[in-house]
Amino acid sequence: MPGTVLRAASAIEETAPLAGMEQPPYLNQMVLLATSLEPRVLLEACRAIEQREGRERAERWGPRTLDLDIVRFGERRVEERDLIIPHPELPNRDFWQRELAELRPHER
């Protein structure tokens, strides 16, 4: 992504699908980026990657091969129809909490 640098990546963790979805376990990883992109532009870039890699958005909470989420964006808050930052599920996903803790030493 233009104007974006990978600063750190968490370990990859296997977790069960959320909400009892019928699909194999997920592989989760969180990355810490430095970016000059605005949140909306970053979301569009993430969705372009998902689409390029074959993700189809057929149903909400449906099975997926790739899911790129913006969990936090520094201290910024965003509340739009399809973009809420911090991610509203952040407090409910233990694996995200572990990944954030792993990345915390790399924040500036």
Domain extent listing, the chain? 4-106
Q: What is the pLDDT of residue 14?
A: 94
Domain 4-106: give its CATH architecture.
2-Layer Sandwich (3.30)
CB 35 within 8 A of CB 4: yes
Which of 29, 30, 65 shows the shortest CA–CA distance to 49? 65
The pLDDT value recorded for residue 101 is: 97
**Catalytic residue set:** 55, 64, 67, 69
Q: Residue 62: what pLDDT?
A: 63
- Burial classification of residue 85, based on how many CB atoms lie within 10 Å of its CB (0-12 exposed, 13-18 middle, 19 or more buried): buried
pLDDT at residue 105, as a whole number = 96
What's the pLDDT at 61? Answer: 62
Mean pLDDT by 10 residues, the chain (108 residues): 96 85 86 97 94 79 79 97 96 94 94
pTM recorded for the entire structure = 0.87
- Dihedral angle, C-alpha 87, 82, 50, 77, nearest 10 °: -40
